[in-house]
Chain A
Amino acid sequence: MSIPVKSSPIMPSPLVSLENAGVSRGERWLVRGVSFAIERGEIVTLIGPNGSGKSTSVKMALGILAPDEGTARRIDGLRVGYVPQKLAVDWTLPLTVSRFMSLTGPVAAAEATQALAETGIAHLAGAAMRDLSGGEFQRALLARAICRKPDLLVLDEPVQGVDFNGEIALYELISKLRDRLGCAILMVSHDLHVVMAATDRVICLNGHVCCHGTPRAVAEDPAYRKLFGDRPIEALAIYQHHHDHTHLPDGRVRHADGTITEDCHPTDGNHDDHHGHDHGHGHTAHDAGGEAQAGSARPEHDHA
């Protein structure tokens, strides 16, 4: 399965596009056969369990990692605001929150102040980065990415360590940012169930692109209401989809027709994903020592 990439000359070129891209470490493919494109002003969310290659795919899209196969393209002069999954500020680094705002480029003082206010840490402008709590640090990372006025905002698990109310507020802020900044947003979430309502497209990874589609169409599906009742969906939406294969504990893959292959690759002719199916998620990470998502993953669960 691959996502059709718009290649008509009349269409404006996407901000970033991956085409059948993969990264390997020795014998093991961290992720393989990833294709997607992000257009101006759209919000795309990558979901999938731990170790499914979400961060790796983002790093390929941003040019941090060069793909070992396939291609990764960015338009010239693309202005990126990046919130990495991990960032440690060494204790020897004297770095205040306000100095951190202009880390990768000059930023107008008014922009920095507004971004800090939006993320709820205006009072911490003079604080040292290493003295921030986990949630405050995450807000500072987001504020820095915002105040750059990027064309593309890339958020790798942007709400980790943020308390529950703050999490909802930050997701609402993120969906508003698209309109204020006119930027596209590429977001990563390890959470299989919680995806923003404002997401235009969801791409599900598990070492490859499992499936993709719009979450809204799924959320309006009667099957969705049957599963989740009248739970408010303004801020949170549930994305359901269908898997046609099972990842076996030894890393091999059993497909719907019963065949078994060494890994998941779109060119193996075994993928035939469609969307709108009412279905829970049944993936685990390739490595059996992995961190299965609570309540979502059972290796023996066959969803074909």
Chain B
Amino acid sequence: MLDGFFVRALLAGIGVAIVAGPLGCFIVWRRLAYFGDTLSHAALLGVALALLLEVNVTLAVFVVSAAIALALVALQRRATLSGDALLGLLAHSSLAIGLVCLAFMSWVRMDLMGLLFGDVLAVSDIDVALIWVGGACVLAVLAFIWRPLFAATVSRDLAQAEGLQPDRANLVFMLLMAAVIAISMKIVGVMLITALLLIPAAAARRFAATPEHMAALAALAGAIAVVAGLFASLQWDTPSGPSIVVAALVLFLLSLLPLHARSARN
């Protein structure tokens, strides 16, 4: 018999994985891994602000991540620094500001490990509801912008020429990223959100012929990693985030095996 907190963690984790899979595919296709890192580092600043202003943590994280994403777009247009330098600047300064803010708020007793690496015990009923409702919204919007976003991933010029408004799709995609980071923070922690986006998608790549196929497989791989990781976390009392990421890594490594067997046979 499973405890209530663990069922909640499973539900929350699976919900996050189903949303993270398709979005993670775009992270892989567009080589945005470091962009995901930047947004998740900014999440810590969101947590600090939420505690300071006494507002909902998920909402504050979403707002801060979205603001960082938009700031990045604005800074890139001015193009005084290269993209990766800008990402590093935003990621680490927002992380640093967040940590400094938390240190100043001496009245707040913060589980920093739980924040950085996830904590299954911290998942409440409201969190589960937020993840499933928020996740459903994210997936609905993603489905709506799927064609322009994918066309823009292949070629922005082509998408623009044929009237798909790729810049709008890119902007919406950034907001979706911010939303996913906000809802996955409690499960995997801010340090490892990018891994949950990236590794299931990487594991799915070898078996997918079309982008839609890859998105579905990535969601499935993510869900399996969440279940395996959470059980391992319960069994060995390890932090939930790293356990899930290790499980995803095992899936990725397994995904390499049958391909070799197949090509050896051919």
Contacts and interface: CB of A to CB of B under 8 A. Distances in A.
Interface of A: 59, 62-64, 78-82, 84, 87, 89-90, 92-96, 99-100, 103-105, 128, 148, 154
A150 to B, nearest CB: 8
B161 interface: yes
B41 interface: no
B157 A84 contact: yes
B210 A94 contact: yes
Contacts of A87: 154-155, 158
Contacts of A94: 205, 208-211, 213-214
A83 B164 CA distance: 15
Interface in B171-197: none
Given A87-B154, A104-B151, A95 B159 contact: no
Contacts of B157: 59, 64, 82, 84
Contacts of B161: 59, 62-64, 80, 82, 84, 154
B168 interface: no
B208 A103 contact: no
Interface residues of B, number: 24
Nearest to B28: A92
A64 B156 CA distance: 9
23 contacts: A59-B161, A64-B160, A80-B161, A80-B163, A84-B157, A84-B158, A84-B161, A89-B154, A90-B29, A92-B28, A93-B211, A94-B205, A94-B208, A94-B210, A94-B214, A99-B209, A99-B210, A100-B154, A103-B154, A104-B163, A104-B164, A128-B209, A154-B161
Nearest to A148: B162
B72 to A, nearest CB: 21
B154 A82 contact: no
B210 A104 contact: no
Interface string B136-168: 000000000001001101110111111110000
Interface in B116-135: none
Contacts of B214: 94
Given A87-B155, A94-B214, A96-B210, A62 B160 contact: yes
Contacts of A82: 157-158, 161-162
A93 B208 CA distance: 9
Nearest to A102: B147
Nearest to B156: A64
A92 B29 contact: yes
A58 B31 CA distance: 28
